[in-house]
Structure 1
């Protein structure tokens, strides 16, 4: 008997527990639906949602980049209107048609189809002005009806407004890739800060509900909404405007497939501006007219339209990879100095190139620069000297410094979809790969990787995590979180940084430097030009760039400009001054704005856009001279404008974004047999397979002796 009773109690308990679980799930999943049913069935009970306000996004000076403005949903109450249909229906419908311009027949049909309903949403996101206009009209007419003997029973009834918020972007396209946009009525962000900091920007809805007490009196309870937090970004609206102005100026002239700029503070990793020519209206993010012609839009399939949106919303500075070219040369020199394989007083004999792995890898000057100091090797962008330094380092140490500078790794920037880049590791980097990697070819990086690495070389050796947010505030303005500069690691010593900084100053300041078009009157400016031939090499398309900073002796602003495939035929694209000119104009406006005062001892004249095409000479066709590899087969390839050759493919890394524009994916050029090819561009390799390099040994064979 006791056992049966125990079983009965257990079964009953389990049944009750199951019922509780079912009720909990019903309440959790169907809460809003049941709430509306209650509103429809019980006119004596008053209940409504109090929406939260999505947090604002502001620039570093408090200027609104994204905000939420209150709007209203118009709700009809047919049950209330039908309580005295003869007196309420016509005045209510007439007022709605007059103020909002609604179709009379449609309103009547809606009321008729929902005659017993208390809650019928009719229009969403009505402006406060329109709501106020209707409320005023309603009061005027109801007062007039009350004073009239003939129409005293008439009233406008059964219309009320529900609070809501609409996301608004005051500057439309400005910093669109950094800000991002929101959807699902402001509940979810897409791209930029809106997506990355969505949890901070999102709040919690409140609730106002009523009930009848024991004496049948209506009682109300209000649970206030919790608004989202405000994000204070590192972006400066004025610097962003300057950057976008000169991108637009370039695109309206010669133009290119892509033009992109990052402006950052090299002292702490704060991004002051980030933009490209890929822009869209944050208030209407699916408007493709910013990137495509009407004919192209009309011809798009649904799949094509989706791809077009993805390309338009893509942030080139963070999501895309490419071969960086010569702006990587300061990293090669810094690595050599840090490892002690070269000194600041070394000289190098440039005879026009190096023979590596059966290839003649040419310098920008195929006749040779002659004897160069280490400083001059950067000033004149000498590939030969870079290859000699890399050979002294060897693959182990070179690969170690690539990782130290963040190549092939995410920087950790607080923006979504950051790409890794494609690099070799020490195990699959052969002599030819090492040679061409030394001057920024045959591996891929992102703009943000290059900007962060470059900043560490010139700021004393401190690698800061780049970031676009400074603070998070609650809706009362109190600081919830302060995002301090994150010093990730030290890359180089102060003495190495000082040397590189001075060499890059001479690259711009000296008449023999490749970067003299970047001079800004009154300021000491340093920087490095870049000209890289894209794949396939046979197409002769180029990506040109300039990464520079000022003041040269105390860098406060770094600007990195990348121009991908200028709208010119073949080698006419290969002029780094296209990028240098954009840099110069941005700096000339940004430095005074930032209160960086001119150096009265350095009043250089504007160098203009003198032809400083890096690596292009009348006698240099930019190709490899045929050679014989260890396999005995004759090999051929081509180089970029600086004489750079890609002989094998870089090791693919795992892609973190589901689309690729194809930049920087290497051609399938046969290996010379002295090293293993890194694999085809279509193969995926996890980042975990890139092995950490340990203490390096100097086993590299020197291909050229430094001149004494």
Structure 2
């Protein structure tokens, strides 16, 4: 019995409780299990944290290699306005069509056919070319596929996209239009086509101006592009920062669009009826140098300036290499009124008389005996009137455009004074007009040091030296306005993009050329030139017009080619407007007739004068007391009013009109 009790009895611990070995083992196993769970939990948490950290680093690494939506935001090139606020050059918002091949290729089955199809349907693009672009640029998120998409085209696409995607969804098609978007841009527009093309110039695709105001005021017209930046923040989210663009300033020109249209209309009518190698005209305010209109017969479409079709046949263009095409375009874009030189002919007689009066070489009462020619330096230099004008005074010499009288006057004045005044009137120097490409005539005039007797003689009536149109109109304006030579200019204001004035371009008085007394004498002589003399074709009904005709034989001599011109001012005694018309080589057998240019002047001014509110003044009395009688000039110049004068400057086609020598700069 003792042994049985010993074997089946549990031991008591010190506290008197009974200890069971299996319970102890179970508790130990639970503790171990809990510790293992805690360890695994800690390990799991560490793995999750490490994975998250690596994922952020990995995502940032991948995203850093991708192209965000960082892009340039284009500025708007500044507008050009006429003097009345009419927009004659502006920039319209257009769009670039952007493809994202990378996005399209992420799910080709879903995106490719749908995206290609809509581009073909909306824009008519070639399907194969689109697919090739997407395949070739498969790793790119930005491909500029098309430029100059209009707002209407963009809206049409977006409406069609919505329609396509709705249809795919409704018909449970796993397709969608994706990876196509639009980027804002600007396109330069010229609302009036070729109007004022020689003055405006044009802006190229690179954003810079070429010729005209677009070039000379390019720094004002250009703006600064903005920028949209994309970057990752600390949470790997894409953030954007936008720097807005700064638009270009607006330029207000001195051009009056209505006057410009009038001038161009009549030039075009002349070219379509008779034609010439070149016809050009400038209309100027003589009292401040503002150019109101400037046009030539060499026009081009500002919206398509590289089109040669108006001047060259397809066959001619096909035969041109790149250099020949560039030369052809530069010739078309060339502004004859500023960039080309020529011998001015008889309008220069105004300066011969004016300078001689200023120097006291003549007082206006002198008379000259014109026998039809003078022999100088071994040359028989002829007058337009081969039979001679007979006894003629200074006023009549201008009215009849007498070469002999001019040669006598210049000889009396002397070479030193004559050529000093050529510089005073601006010949041989650039006018600094605010247009590009002004010709340099510094080597195309004579000086007192190198001029011989025949040079002085022929220069006195406008042959054997060269000028530009803008030089001559500026010099003439100074003589008829009282002696103030203003710098010619084509822009009057600079505005900021909102239209506030940044800068007023004030008239710049460069120098004084003649006295008021000389101006009064010249203006009356020019009035009589139109009323009674060779400028009769320039008359405008209801107005006192003053002006001077011109017929210049072109070099080389003896080929029967002439440049005819007329420069006039209205009202004659107190001019508010000057107009200079030039016709180079009229397409007629009988070229040497000033009436071609005079009549064109008349047609232009018949419309311009009423538009400018310059009122009829034919009945106003000429105040002879204003003449410089103290210098010996009196009303004696009108004493011969009963005479019959030539009503046109004509050089006979008798083969005897060859001039001595060559223009300054030719063959030297």
TM-score range, shorter chain: 0.7 to 0.9
Q: Distance in 2 between matches of 1:553 and 1:611?
A: 22
Of 456-465 and 364-373, more deviation after overlay is shown by: 364-373
**Partner residue in 1 for 2:514:** 492
Among 574, 589, 611, the alignment partner of 2:607 is 589
| Unaligned ranges ≥5, structure 2 | 1-61, 622-644
Residue 379 (structure 1) aligned with residue 399 (structure 2): yes
Question: Is the 1:175–1:240 contact (alpha carbons within 8 Å) kept by the matching residues of 2?
Answer: yes
1:579 aligns with 2:600: no
TM value normalised by structure 2 = 0.84
How far off its partner does 1:237 sit? 1.0
- Cα 1:300–1:211 change in 2 (3 A) is closer
1:260-290 residue CA offsets vs partner (Å, 9 max, x unmatched): 1111111111111111111111111111122
1:621 aligns with 2:642: no
Contact 2:381 2:660 in 1 (8 A): no
Structure 1 Cα separation of the partners of residues 330 and 647 of structure 2: 36
For 2:425 and 2:284, the matched residues in 1 are separated by: 17
Alignment of 1:540-689 (within 5 A): 540-569=560-589, 572-599=590-617, 601=619, 612-617=647-652, 621=654, 623=656, 638-639=657-658, 645-647=659-661, 649-650=663-664, 652=665, 665=666, 680-681=667-668
* TM-superposed deviation, 1:600: 5.7
Aligned equivalents of 1:497, 1:622: Cα separation in 2: 37
Counterpart secondary structure, 2:530: helix
> What is aligned with 1:274?
294
CA deviation map 1:669-691 (0-9, x unaligned): xxxxxxxxxxx25xxxxxxxxxx
* Aligned partner of residue 234 in structure 2, secondary structure: coil
SS state of the match for residue 72, structure 1?
Answer: strand
Residue 457 in 1 paired to residue 467 in 2?
A: no
Specify the SS of the correspondent of 1:573.
Answer: coil
C-alpha displacement of 1:103: 2.1
Match of 2:35 in 1: none
Aligned to 2:42: none
Provide the C-alpha distance between the structure 1 equivalents of 2:314 and 2:574, rounded to a whole number of angstroms: 49
Deviations 1:107-165 (A, max 9, x none): 2222222223211221122111111111112223334444x3623x5322111111111
| Shift of residue 66, structure 1, vs aligned partner | 1.3
What is aligned with 2:143?
A: 120
CA distance in 2, matches of 1:435, 1:40: 81
Q: Which moved more, 1:341-350 or 1:575-584?
A: 341-350
Which of 253, 259, 264 does residue 273 from structure 2 map onto?
253
Q: Does residue 444 of the first structure (1) align with residue 462 of the second (2)?
A: no
User: 1:54 Cα deviation (Å)?
Assistant: 1.0
Q: Deviations over 1:313-337 (max 9, x none)?
A: 1111111111000000010000011
Partner of 2:360: 340
> Are residues 1:42 and 2:66 paired?
yes
Aligned to 1:97: 120
Q: Is the contact between residue 420 and residue 445 of structure 1 (CA under 8 Å) also seen in structure 2?
A: no
**d(CA) in 2 for partners of 1:192, 1:411:** 16
Secondary structure of 2:558's counterpart equals helix
Q: State whether structure 2 residue 240 is matched by structure 1 residue 220.
A: yes
Aligned to 2:110: 87
Paired with 2:650 and 2:101, the residues of 1 have a C-alpha distance of 78
Which deviates more from structure 2 when the two are superposed, residues 131-140 or residues 420-429? 131-140
Partner of 1:195: 215
Structure 2 residue aligned with 1:404: 424
Aligned to 2:495: 473
Q: Give distance in 1, aligned partners of 2:662 and 2:324.
A: 33
Q: Deviations over 1:42-91 (max 9, x none)?
A: 25x33121011111111111222211111111111122223333222222
- The CA RMSD measured in Å over matched residues stands at 2.0
Deviations 1:560-595 (A, max 9, x none): 1111111122xx111100000100000000000111
Partner of 2:28: none
2:186 is the alignment partner of 1:162: no
Once residues 586 and 521 of structure 2 are traced to their aligned partners in structure 1, the CA distance between those partners, rounded to angstroms, is: 33
Once the two structures are superposed, what CA deviation does each residue of 1:235-257 show, in whole Å capped at 9, x if it has no partner? 11111111111111111122111
1:39–1:378 Cα change, 3 Å: farther
1:413 aligned onto 2:427: no
Q: 1:648 to 1:300 in 2, by over 3 A?
A: closer
Cα offsets for 1:158-181 (capped at 9, x unmatched)? 111111111111111111111111
Query: Which residue is equivalent to 1:539?
Result: 559
How far, CA to CA, are the matches of 1:121 and 1:194 in structure 2?
Answer: 27
Tell whether the 8 Å contact from 2:538 to 2:602 is kept in structure 1 after alignment.
Answer: yes
- Structure 1: gaps spanning 5 or more residues: 1-37, 604-609, 624-637, 640-644, 653-664, 666-679, 682-708
Distance 1:93 1:616 in 2: 72
Question: Is 1:67 aligned to 2:90, yes or no?
Answer: yes
SS in 1 for 2:566: strand
Residue of structure 2 in register with 1:138 after alignment: 161
Contact 2:555 2:663 (8 Å CA) reproduced: no
8 Å contact from structure 1 (residues 507, 515) kept in 2? yes
Mark the CA change 1:78 to 1:649 in structure 2 (over 3 Å): closer, same or farther: closer
> Taking structure 1 as reference, are residues 205 and 233 closer, same or farther at Cα in structure 2, changes over 3 Å only?
same
- Equivalent residue number for residue 394 of structure 1: 414
Moved more, 584-593 or 380-389: 380-389
- 1:396–1:349: structure 2 CA closer, same or farther, 3 Å change rule? same
CA contact (8 A) 1:40 1:119 kept: no
Q: Is the 8 A contact 1:78 1:116 kept in 2?
A: yes
Question: Radius of gyration: which is bigger?
Answer: 2
Change (3 A) 1:91 1:40: farther
Equivalent residue, structure 1, for 2:523? 501
2-structure distance, mates of 1:611, 1:86: 89
Alignment of 1:269-348 (within 5 A): 269-348=289-368
The verdict on how the C-alpha distance between 1:98 and 1:648 changes in structure 2, with shifts beyond 3 A counting, is closer
Aligned residues: 582
| 1:334-379 per-position Cα deviation (integer Å, ceiling 9, x unaligned) | 0011000100222222232322112222222233222222111111
Is the 1:380–1:507 Cα contact (8 Å) retained in structure 2?
yes
- 1:238 equivalenced with 2:261 (yes/no): no
Q: CA deviation at 1:621?
A: 3.2
Cα pair distance change 1:112/1:292, threshold 3 Å: closer
**Normalized against structure 1, the TM-score is what?**
0.79
* Pairwise CA distance, 1:611: 8.8
Residue 24 of structure 2 corresponds to none
Deviation at 1:622, TM superposition (A): 5.9
Q: Distance in 1 between matches of 2:171 and 2:468?
A: 78
Alignment-derived partner of residue 3 in structure 1: none
2:450 counterpart of 1:428: yes
Is 1:369 aligned to 2:369, yes or no? Answer: no
